[in-house]
Structure 1
């Protein structure tokens, strides 16, 4: 296996403006370094700085040297998050411009390891321990290639991939990246945050990439679909409880502590889940060490200290309005919310919402989190107190929860603690991805 080139979808707008820096192969008939591309009818129209225009359904500006780069103007980052904004971004590699859903889509074609240097610098702090960065380099590399393999399989088999199951009684939905069909991954948090060389690639990130160059997590001769989240809450979740119903042995329950072998909780049971969530058991990710947290959390997240165990309260009006707006379903007054099934981490897979107007079960975990928050609830590992009941209708709801994110695979805060405790990146990966192997593929 040689190092592959990957295609990263950076932005999609009616018009894209960009500037070349360095040696590029230009489309025939155009010149200069500043260009704009827009949609007219069903074609792309390229205009160079001399005013010359030409049309095609695709344009490619091929990089002819390793230090060549291009600058894209007004790239939207943080899509659908409270900090969404536009910024100019710079990328190494080639630029491909295609049509996607009536817009110009800018795609960066770049060697995998070059892509990873940016991802690790964007996802992780430069203060991170070397072993945490190495572990993250391996899982980011593995996750990406596993997605590419999966997409090609779906395309080859012409599978009618379904991510939503809806009946009169249930709405079960999961969110992954199968909607990207014209490129391998996007550049935003939906896949992995990628900002090219817009920000300085940290020396530590470069060292982590070089130290693990070409290394993948493997299981049964296949590249692992290596997932990660901020905080598992003490126990990690099975893949099939967050996404499609496929069991991956290396993405199954682990207890996030050194005493894992002697911990025998079954958080699928409501009584054990309730006790676990309402207490604060020992775990790698149960930490308030600011030095550790700063390795994983961006500045705007570091104010959050209650991610291991957290609490959210809603009035009846707040909750009924929120659920209606977020799901499009008018439940009327919310009478009760009940966990119908939980995963191994205590995360709710199916939540039954009983209202005065209708009753419906929703899932999986991200659908539940989206229904109960204006952005994303920390996790779906929570228990519910129905309080101040008047004529059978609660006037207040308190959600007490555990963890931050889906909880599948590597727990970033737990891994950061392990790095500080002296665990090697190989030991960190073996802890979170049971029975996987570390294999150098190129």
Structure 2
């Protein structure tokens, strides 16, 4: 009899568990599609309200615009964690209780480096005109996640109000580069420029000219041996300014012009042709031309990462030769050098030079493989690669001894699959999930496997995704990296600045297609007077204010039946296929060799020396 009672109780409990699991998946599905009222109705049918259900219930109430109900649900949670504290901060801020909101945001930060918490703290201080504290927390936000571009704008505003016009100019200039069409940001920068006055900029230019004149160009030893050559697009504009650390020759179709060391020369495209200027001397030159020397070249104003959070204009030193072509109404500057010397400037630009040697070696092999695979397709073009597309090349400026050693110790080594170089995709952080579908499936890439050893296949139901994007699975190699998880939050003011529209005009966001690991492939965004359909991983990232990845969860918070906040919960940095750089660093720290690292991220491969 006892056995029968036990079996009946087990059956009842198991049935209840199964029913609750089915209902939970349905509720998460409604939440993902912003059907909060339907989710609320389904919640009433759940028989067991554990902490997970209470957190979900409170979140749905908050997003629906019922913060008092949300508060009741959150307070019932027994095992409190950073997620509950963060939502309590959001709830209290929504209810106008800023002091309580601040205390819960601070509690969140004491447990996890969550950018939503630091950003909302900064905004509360900003609106309260406590610009000193606001500055502190906008800086903290950038430290947590340097891709949050609006934080640079608000930091610039804080510095403006605090009277630090020089640094305000620096951050507002960055903001204008990020948002070149935002009139408000442009006006703020113009206002700061007027406060600084013309004398400031005249003095600044003088100091810059003096620094450039004094710049000493290193004379590195050239590596010996035969290596493939690569041609890298450096810039494309009307004027190129350069100097060389030794005498040099400009070889045109009809003549050779000798140049002097450590003097600045300008190549300028004008209506009547291309002209070479040395101080006041002027010579007309034919294109294309080649510039050769035993020493490297120093090029002014090379722009990296246009519109991205790492956007920067910098003076850069390049090994090898320079070539100049006419490209439409611009001059195209190309740097030609050996593949191995090119890698000297790529590896430290792509992975921290202080990373363990085995991680640096893995990066060197991957970068070399990418080049050798693509060189076959670029023979008839003016250049093989752009300096910051596919992989970033920063020339001699970036070189370090640790990265040169990694390149030298793996010289000629590439990743092969069935005898051919693979498309050796890599990215900063996979967010814990490896994918194979980003550029069409490849047999040597892992498909929805967790970044652990031994590998585990992952599931991505609606419930799984909610948990995945809002937790930090610590067994993944990539979890040690700062790009493992990220968040964004946009209030009404932020949305207007970043997207150029009122958030109240936003009517619907539909995920039309989703790939492996929760990466969005196609999204439809509907506004009152406009509909945008965005397709492709990079396009989606750029549309949503240049996100770290297209693997994210969307939450829309309503107030008075209108969208009030946009919240994004994301994973990883990059496309998620192939080598995860932050994962590779962690593996190297744990003692894995570079070949073991590469075999973890690419399957059924061979690593062979081609030269």
- Partner SS, residue 391 of structure 2: coil
- Partner SS, residue 285 of structure 1: helix
Given the alignment, which residue of 225, 239, 253 partners 1:15?
Answer: 239
The equivalent of 1:415 in structure 2 is 584
Deviation for aligned residue 1:226: 1.2
Q: Which has the larger radius of gyration?
A: 2
Deviation for aligned residue 1:271: 3.8
The equivalent of 1:299 in structure 2 is none
Structure 2 CA distance for partners of 1:271 and 1:41, relative to 1, 3 Å: same
Deviation for aligned residue 1:283: 0.6
- Partner SS, residue 333 of structure 2: strand
- Partner SS, residue 264 of structure 1: coil
Given the alignment, which residue of 531, 534, 552 partners 1:362?
Answer: 534
Given the alignment, which residue of 406, 416, 429 partners 1:218?
Answer: 416
Given the alignment, which residue of 394, 403, 407 partners 1:195?
Answer: 394
The equivalent of 1:113 in structure 2 is 340
The equivalent of 1:44 in structure 2 is 274
Is contact 1:32–1:48 with CA below 8 Å preserved after alignment?
A: no
- Partner SS, residue 286 of structure 1: helix
Is contact 1:419–1:425 with CA below 8 Å preserved after alignment?
A: yes
Is contact 1:320–1:333 with CA below 8 Å preserved after alignment?
A: no
The equivalent of 2:429 in structure 1 is 231
| 1:302-381 alignment, distance < 5 Å | 305=482, 307-315=483-491, 318-319=494-495, 322-323=498-499, 333-373=505-545, 376-381=546-551
Q: Distance in 2 between the 1:417 and 1:8 partners?
A: 31
Q: Distance in 2 between the 1:196 and 1:117 partners?
A: 8
Structure 2 unaligned blocks of 5 or more: 1-224
Tell me the alpha carbon deviations over residues 323-347 of structure 1, each in whole angstroms, 9 at most, x when there is no partner. Answer: 457xxxx997222323332222211
Given the alignment, which residue of 265, 277, 291 partners 2:469?
Answer: 277
Deviation for aligned residue 1:236: 1.7
Is contact 1:118–1:195 with CA below 8 Å preserved after alignment?
A: yes
Structure 2 CA distance for partners of 1:271 and 1:98, relative to 1, 3 Å: same
Whether 2:452 is the aligned partner of 1:257: answer yes
Tell me the alpha carbon deviations over residues 86-122 of structure 1, each in whole angstroms, 9 at most, x when there is no partner. Answer: 3332222111111123122221110000110111133
Is contact 2:321–2:337 with CA below 8 Å preserved after alignment?
A: yes
Structure richer in strand, relative to its length: 1
Structure 1 unaligned blocks of 5 or more: 156-180, 288-292, 294-304
Deviation for aligned residue 1:146: 2.2
Deviation for aligned residue 1:4: 1.0
The equivalent of 1:169 in structure 2 is none
Deviation for aligned residue 1:214: 0.6
| 1:79-90 alignment, distance < 5 Å | 79-82=306-309, 84-90=311-317
The equivalent of 1:139 in structure 2 is 366
Is contact 2:275–2:282 with CA below 8 Å preserved after alignment?
A: no
Q: Distance in 1 between the 2:256 and 2:227 partners?
A: 32
| 1:65-80 alignment, distance < 5 Å | 65=294, 68-80=295-307
Structure 2 CA distance for partners of 1:309 and 1:224, relative to 1, 3 Å: same
Deviation for aligned residue 1:280: 2.5
The equivalent of 1:433 in structure 2 is 602
Structure 2 CA distance for partners of 1:70 and 1:394, relative to 1, 3 Å: closer
Deviation for aligned residue 1:20: 2.5
Deviation for aligned residue 1:85: 3.9
Tell me the alpha carbon deviations over residues 380-404 of structure 1, each in whole angstroms, 9 at most, x when there is no partner. Answer: 211222322534x432232222112
Deviation for aligned residue 1:61: 1.8
- Partner SS, residue 258 of structure 1: coil
Structure 2 CA distance for partners of 1:356 and 1:431, relative to 1, 3 Å: same
Query: Which structure carries more relative contact order (alpha carbon 8 Å, separation 6+)?
Result: 1
